[in-house]
Amino acid sequence: MSIRSAGATDYLPVEADGELTDDTYSVIDRHSSFDGTFRSDRDLRIDGEVKGTIECQGTLFVAEGATVSAKVNAENVTVAGD
C-alpha cells in the first residue's frame, strides 16, 4: 500500500466546472456520512464522513475537509489537505 499527500490537488478527473468526469469510482460526497464497513472494488473518493472500516481494491482518495475515522485497507491512499 502506498500513501501520499496531495495537498489540495485532486487526482480524479474533473471537468472545468469541478464535476467528476468518470464513473469508474465510488464517491461518498460532502453531504453524506457512513458508519460501518464500506467495500469498493474500484477507486473511492471521500468528501464526507466515514467511520468504521474501508476496504478499497483501488485508490482511496480523502478530499480536503473529509473526516475518516476508520480502519483502512486499500491499494493506495491519497490524502488532500492537512
The pLDDT of 48-72, averaged and rounded, is 97
The pLDDT of 72-77, averaged and rounded, is 96
The pLDDT of 11-19, averaged and rounded, is 57
- Burial level of 21, CB count in 10 A (0-12/13-18/19+)? exposed
* Residue 46, C-alpha cell as written in the block: 471521500
Q: Please, what is the Cα angle at 50 between 49 and 55, to 5 degrees? A: 145
The pLDDT of 58-66, averaged and rounded, is 96
Which comes out higher in pLDDT, residue 33 or 18?
33
Q: Where are the domains of the chain?
A: 2-11+22-80
Per residue in 28-53, pLDDT (tens digit) is 999 999 999 999 999 999 999 999 99
CB 11 within 8 A of CB 25: no
CB 60 within 8 A of CB 46: yes
